[in-house]
Amino acid sequence: MATQANSVPHPTLVEVDPFMASIIAGILISQHMQPSNQDKQVFKIQCVDWTGAQIGNNDYSDDIRSIDLTKIHNLSGPIAIEGAEPGDCLVVDILDVTPFEKMPWGYTGIFELENGGGLFAKEFNSKAAKAIWDFKGIYATSRHIPGVRFAGVSHPGLIGTAPSAELLATWNERERGLIAQDPHAVPALAFAPEFKGAYIGQDLDPELLEKIKTEGARTIPGREHGGNCDIKNLSRGSRCYFPVFIPGANLSVGDLHFSQGDAGIITFSTSIIKGGVEKFALKQPIFLPSPVDPMYSAKLIFEGISVDYHGDGKQYNMDATVAYKQAALNAIAYLMKIGYTREQAYLLLSAAPVESHVGAIVDSPNACVTLALPLGIFEHDILPKEEGLEKIDFGQCAIRSDGVI
């Protein structure tokens, strides 16, 4: 008979309140161990959204506008794995990623040019905007972007081991070098250690605190340890191989994505491959994707090249970033033809399971990048038609209460 006695839930190693910033955030700690964990035990980690619950389920984007970005990313961890040593490979099975039952929504935001920026911060002179996504089982819909429903590709936006002191020093040096090229750039070129806003979460030795103040790398970009890579294919069901830089590996995770900014629960198991860094030539994590990513076989694909033809027409040399931007802007222009506002289109591309491929970076001077929009997420048929595209009024996403867009 099925009994409670023979039914042992997987333990939750980190519990958080998704309505409050969690106690661990913003800085990776390289020498501090936390709940130790047996090989191959399945366990769960709860995560607040990356902002620490700063964004609300409402119809204005004022919270996006005034967000305090010194507080990001709210992470859960680090989790030390007994026996992991520098040079080993930490194998992490991302077994599941689910939202909190009590919080069946998430959001995607466009940040202000001066506070957060983003891909098109300059091009659009971005004003805060957002879309709230309602989670309905495997699907997300939004009252702010009607007419679409998509199966989420649930994944941790940020996951990584902790760096060694040496690696941390390398990061700080190279990023400071970049900042020095244009210290007052808006948006900033990179972000130096910043103690304000950071939660360390423990009573720490004053000397260590001082080190963190000056050396604690921001979690904003992904790096050699993984980190904030936002790789949608690293989704639930994936197996990821991380390089280990310090004893215990110290795995941290957060910034869960269903749509994009979501609190939730991630289920893991871990194991160690001794000497895996050398065995697999690991300079950065490698992974096996999940067998259960959404399959929308019918797509409309947009191309872009490294010429800023949506802007000043400038020719770049094999620049895949410029090419990617053109492809995205082509997609946005198309979505506007069927009735979405520019902001809705931009938010949709940030949340839906679009796929951007590097076509080629070989034919000087133009890199070619494509962006594929799955047709199955739209309630209407958006295919090109002889008679043109039907334009529907989809309203607008959540914007600032002062109406500025």
Rounded Cα–Cα distance for residues 320 and 230 (Å): 18
Handedness of CA 39, 40, 45, 50 (dihedral sign): positive
Other CB atoms closer than 10 Å to residue 328's CB: what's the count? 23
Rounded Cα–Cα distance for residues 137 and 265 (Å): 15
Residue 82 or 355 having the CB closest to a second copy: 355
In sequence order, what are the residues at sequence separation of 6 or more whose Cβ sits closer than 8 angstroms to the Cβ of residue 272? 39, 81, 83, 84, 88, 89, 90, 91, 244, 249
Instruction: Show the DSSP H helices in 42-151 as ranges.
Output: 62-65
Residue 19 or 202 having the CB closest to a second copy: 19
- Of residues 27-46, those binding a second copy (CB under 8 A): 42
Rounded Cα–Cα distance for residues 304 and 360 (Å): 11
Query: Minimal distance in Å, beta carbon 253 to a second copy?
Result: 14
Contacts with a second copy, 102-141, as mask; x by CB under 8 A: xxxx-----------xxx----------------xxxx--
Exactly one of 368, 397, 398, 405 binds a second copy (CB under 8 A); that residue is 368
- Of residues 67-86, those binding a second copy (CB under 8 A): none
Q: Which stretch binds a second copy (CB under 8 A): 30-38, 78-86, 168-176, 394-402?
A: 168-176
Rounded Cα–Cα distance for residues 111 and 118 (Å): 7
Q: Is 166 in the site for a second copy (CB under 8 A)?
A: no
Q: Is 352 in the site for a second copy (CB under 8 A)?
A: no
Rounded Cα–Cα distance for residues 291 and 237 (Å): 7
Query: Minimal distance in Å, beta carbon 210 to a second copy?
Result: 25
Q: Which stretch binds a second copy (CB under 8 A): 31-39, 193-201, 207-215, 370-378?
A: 370-378
Q: Is 397 in the site for a second copy (CB under 8 A)?
A: no
Rounded Cα–Cα distance for residues 166 and 275 (Å): 19
Query: Minimal distance in Å, beta carbon 184 to a second copy?
Result: 14
Q: Is 192 in the site for a second copy (CB under 8 A)?
A: no
Rounded Cα–Cα distance for residues 252 and 346 (Å): 29
Contacts with a second copy, 2-31, as mask; x by CB under 8 A: xxx-xxxxx-------xx------------
DSSP code at position 143 = T
Q: Is 142 in the site for a second copy (CB under 8 A)?
A: no
Q: Is 318 in the site for a second copy (CB under 8 A)?
A: yes
The one-letter amino acid code at 347 reads L
Rounded Cα–Cα distance for residues 113 and 98 (Å): 31
- Of residues 43-62, those binding a second copy (CB under 8 A): 49, 53-58
Q: Which stretch binds a second copy (CB under 8 A): 205-213, 324-332, 341-349, 397-405?
A: 324-332
- Of residues 201-260, those binding a second copy (CB under 8 A): 220-224, 226, 228-234, 236-237, 241
Strand partners, 215: none
* CA distances (Å), origin 57, targets 46, 107, 130: 20, 8, 10
Exactly one of 70, 125, 202, 315 binds a second copy (CB under 8 A); that residue is 315
- Of residues 266-305, those binding a second copy (CB under 8 A): 267, 269, 273, 275-276, 279-281, 283-305
Instruction: Show the DSSP H helices in 116-194 as ranges.
Output: 165-181
Query: Minimal distance in Å, beta carbon 33 to a second copy?
Result: 24
Residue found by looking up tokens 């000397």 in the block: 207
Q: Is 184 in the site for a second copy (CB under 8 A)?
A: no
